[in-house]
Structure 1
Amino acid sequence: MSAMPPFPASRPTPARILVDARALQEPASQVSLSALHGRIVLSALRAHGWHGPAPRMIALVDASLPTLDGDNAALFDETSQAPQQTAGEGAWLITLSPMIHDPLWLRSLIRDARVRTIALCSDISILTDPERLRDQVGRAHALAALAWLTAYDCVATLSSDAKGLLGQALGPRGPSAFAISTAPRAAFAESGGAPRPRSDRSGILASGAGDPLGCIETLLRAHARSTTLHAPPVPLIVREKLTWERRAHLRTVYAQAGGQPLNLVFHACEPTRENLDDALLTVPCASGDRSLLTALESAAAGTPVIAPDYPALREETGRETYRFAPDRPDALQALVERVVQERDTWEGLRDEQSAIAREFTESALAHRVLEGIDGASRALLPLTPRIGYARPQIAVLTPLPPSRSGVADFSAATLAALADYADIHVFTDTVSPRASRAYRSVSPISQAYAMRDQFDATISVLGNSDYHLSIYRYLLERGGAAIAHDARMLHFYVGCLGLERTLQVARAEGESGADAAAVATWMQDQDALPILFLSEIAAAARPLFVHSRLTADLIGRYYRATPIVLPFAQYREVPAPEKWRRAAGAPVSLVTFGYVGDDKAPDRIIAAVAMLRRWGVDARLTFCGYAEPALRDRLRSLAADLGMGDAVEISDTFVTEDAYRQRMAEADIGIQLRTYKMGGLSGALSDCISAALPTIANAHLAQAMEAPAFVRTIPDTNAPVDIAEAVLGILQAGEHAHRPLEAARAYASDHSCDRYARLLLQELGFDVERRDAVSCVA
């Protein structure tokens, strides 16, 4: 272990360290992260080179729980069942499980001014688990634990990420917080001998399979889809005590992804050092700090680690090259295959991570703990409320980039503008959200429940995808303002809440005869949808914002609500080419942008291009956006049947930003259609307008977007002949030969992110006339 100097003499050694040992008494708690990490910290403090006599370690035990035994008892010099009688001048109190066990048991010590109190917050998962926070008992427990944490002198977390999350939950008047990381247990630390060679190992060791917020399903899909890992077999081994329901669920996920059942192995025990020595590599899948100890012990034992890209794991797992996005099985598959197949890669990763792990010794951990305690001090803040011209504090619940969501991109752009007038605190479930100076803080959505009273306004951003499930639940429970991006929420209800809930809402909205067959019909043809599935959102939101007057009118008609209409902001900068010149004789480039779906009439666009080619127009069509494989194959077959397979381009992958912009610059004519008429909007049409690209849109969509005159409209039937004749009209008028820049700039001025932000704040009751001093007038 690394040599460390003794605790400086200028820092007095405590005579006693009192330890809340309840996490070490309960059988169910003994395998928890709080107990595991707590034992490591206590062992490090016992072994530390104190200046003068070492403090006595006293276990505070609950007489109603099993007695301490074995290794747990060996950590202490004595035990006591009377916490209030063990205090004294200069004593320290360390609690191992402040978020789990009843804080009232320690109230006399926590309030004793003679005792320095330290909360070891190893596991703060209750703050990030929406299921536990939706439960009234669980939420009350979390809020009580947080309230008592504010009475401590300092709080130690495993990672800087956890420190930030806890700091957000406790607020500016909370105790001093510091991150200490951890150290491998003695059995997992390097033995001094050479690690077992790669040729003597087999299997991939997975941990964290019991964590519903983790990424075990990503690993299962990656392993199941890999032919490389099945011939010869490289089994996926899960060593963890799981319920039979959880094991059955994970096996189903694996089988549905194409995995062979014999290649997935479950052992109902925690991994040992020998298990790590046997494994080719380890993939820790638990969320947040729960994977940190596994990753560190694996690296210390000489077994490479491929880790999810959680902030807590970045320091311990080395280069970003060997981390994966927790929702990307394809990326994980490629990474695992590379490490398993390439000896040099495997050995290089092992050596790099072993070197990192050597810095995380027991001695170094003790010094991080003592340095944090020594430097702990409370921030003294004024208790007077904000008055006069203080900037509004706005909480926004939304997905953020890199989530593949137009709503995420829209929020990022509009929040950047909003930050000119208010302090923005974002709550999101997006993994590793892209950083922005616009945000004063970024926290998980689950923390919004505990922090709501700290803000002047809370805005929930809703869309028709699973990115918005936690936001929807928060809005229905807590209310507040909401921005509804979609004019109908059918896909959200079916995909996120299930058929039964979908039918319940449909019947509540007046479709008393709704059944599974009706829902299937609506999913296939949304123009046949008789309702919007917006009743719950409209009832909960105060106020409700939408981006289309047509949608607002429908909501008013169906739900007797009065939404506020904001202009749909041009949230992406897609500049028009200043000098536009078509090559003489070049084919006519028709491009439809954005995610490809049946509700955008792709088959009718292909049929229209076939008509144009029969009429003698050399037209080429590009779908500049991702299409699901089944739809992609169907459209390619249609193009081939029409004799124009080489004239239609559909990407096999997601289109990069650079490729998207290049297509926008090179296109002659854009085509953006919708098959339904509910006031729905189109980010891609906004991009076309921004780029001053002559574009064809159906009348309803163009009206909802308040599109400028260079967007040609066709009837909402989207008939192929109407599309083809609109193309001819543009060609005949020569509109494709130049870009109407002035009209595009005028539209951009009326639909800027800055104007959007100002109008939003005004409708929330804030005065935005002064950027440097926005006052609340509500």
Structure 2
Amino acid sequence: MAWINAGPYDDDATLNLRTDNHQDEIGRVRAALRLRLKLSENQSPTPVTGSRILFDARSLQTATFGARGIGRFALAALQSARENATDSELVLLVDKTLEKLPEDLAGGCEQITRVTRENVAQFSLLIQPSPMTATAAPLVPLLKSDIHKIAVVFDFIPMHYPTIYLSNVAARAEYAAGLDALRNYNDFICISKLAEDEVRSWLGKESIAKITTSVAWPKDVFPQGLSTETAGTKTGPIVVMTGDEPRKNTYGALAAIGAATAGQDEERNVVVLGMAGQGTRVHHWSIAAAMRPGEAQTLGRISDAEMHELLATAELVVVASFDEGLSLPVIEALRAGAPVVASDIPAHRELIGSSGYLAPAGDIKAMARAIRFHRGKASTYLQQVKQLSRHQHEDLESTIATKISARGNNVENIADNTAAEFASMGQPVVTTERLSIGFATPWEPQRSGVADFSAATVRELAKLADVTVYTTSGGLVEDSIKHANIEDVIANGHDHDVFVSVVGNSHFHIPFIEVLNSIDAVAIAHDTRMVEYYMAMRGQGGVEQVMVRGQEKRSLDPALDDQIDDMRLLENAGFWEIANQSTMLILHAPSAAPRIAAETGVTPRLLPFANQRVPNTAQITQEMRDEARQRLNFNPDKIHLGTFGFVDLRTKLTDVVVEAAAWLSQWGYNISLHLAGSASDTDTKALLKRAEEAGIQECEITGFLTDEQFRDYLLAVDLGVQLRVSPLLGVSGPLSDLAAFGTTSIASSGLAIDVDTPDFVDRLPDDVSSLMVAEAIEKRILNPIPHEIREEQRLAYLEAKSPTRYAEALLELLKEAAGGDR
């Protein structure tokens, strides 16, 4: 996309350098290997002393699993756990970057994001309804303990088809870590006899004596005493029950149906379930399967009741998958009274036996013969449902209930631990000592305004508390401040009283956002949107998911491209994950805080934006400004306008500044325009061409400036111009710098509000034209503010917005986050 290519986020060399192998394939491998090492450590198991139950509810937080498959089993297990344990006994493990658990599922249960060595002793039972869905990293201390650990096992399909599911090193390493974690469970509830046999074979003879295995289904999967009154000749559609992955063999099913029904006079009536949103692909497959256009219909997402109603009219259901752990489509078809033709795989043989209605998944001719013979046959259905009714399994709900009640005398002998007692485990002990703070941030000389800000404020914070700075290889922290690499925290955690991670909308912040996945941390956000960050890291689909997470509206309108091109249309700032992961979210932008609170459900705490670029002298004199102009070779006969920071036409209205300078030139003012910052090659060419065509004789784009050069420009320009297309696009550090140097300026109102500028910064509406900007500049040129007044206001601003004041206010918030006064 043009907009991302033009920005600072998509330079491949820079991005690869700054990711430092985070969240890319190498980063995923390293994380998986770290997890495997932790799981392999020999340590004394934590004895069971608690009575609480931990239920991993992460698989219920995403619509990917829905109410079928994993989601169906997880939901049944959770409902049983809540029926057989009190909410104070049951603790839910959640991922705060995902959707929040519905209240009817979570009830009054406490929700945590990880188990620590300090609180592991509180538990007596772990229920894991989906051990291979999410990383086991938050559970490691519990997996290494002596408590009873239950896992619901679905299948080992990725090992059956490694070239498809484990096609790269990262996927293989992550799956291996999942298997390592699975070995730490001692009770396996399997969804099929096939899965149970695989578990026992995979664990080996030595482990079988130490574990318990069983097969269980939720009660509603196949109710006892299923009526067969619906059996009979059906004239409805042939239904293909499938899914959007090659293993489901959708085309094979369509091809077999096409062959089986070839030559018939009537139009085919084929309905495809499980390919919602993929109608075009199914249409082309059906044409390739010799069907006429429109004979195969792809349904969108439908409810269970709607699916049952459809299947009840079907003359045949075709399930052609190459592999399954438990074939719910076969069960659902028979529940509705429809006969089934299915692939001849172990999962299908387990349910409906071996007969002519099974055919090899890759044999189109054999499957076509089966379809011709069995479509609409009541006798086929009766044979299949009779076989299914013989399947040996327990009720999942009853099995979970039994496991909970069998926790042993431990529950009776140990007093209940209240939620408050549990919450206090692992929290810092309140003392009168200095607070120990871990501070993860970009740092000088990295080319980021955040690096400058953190360096200025953390130096002051280090005078008030024991601070350790964690940064990346490009940050050079002075020896007077303790420092280490952020990789140390990602790999090993920390032992500080409180940890702070500085997040922002660029590649500099990749590891500082990643660390939120593994530790509890306060997040300080310097940007008020994260859209470009997630686009660079996850692509368009990934950023759209973040933007709709937690929202009633489940799709973007207008399209994302249009919103990025005109940031005034931005529907969502993309803060859901960061706001919900952090223990406290701190912003510097009063204008953005209400919106982020509404979008995330988290109320940000506000700190006044501190000025990090303080002049080197107590006073700013006209002589100092003249000297800076001489160093920069400014023409003394011109009016010098400056706009500061990275040039971004989409958000900072740099083109409007150029056009305003053009108006002033046409009005007879001798203008020299300075864009003090770096720009993409495309924007540089476009802006300089526009300036030349508009008759601006002097216009420069400086590129990246050293701190000394930047200070000279702040002093040398006659008037600064800082604009934004919207007040919700972040705090302006350069505007704060202009205020600190006493330079007359004009700025968008939202920026001025967030920075709390002095009166010598004129405020413009956020929606402005180049003519309005030119008129505002002319007004200030004709009516200059006396130096003495600006100097008085400048000094008051510096006092109120000093890094020292900021550090003091931040320390109070961090004491609160640490859990006590210090």
Using CA pairs under 8 Å that are at least 6 residues apart, name the structure with larger relative contact order, 1 or 2.
2
Larger Rg: 2
Under a length normalisation based on structure 2, what TM-score does the superposition of the two structures give? 0.47
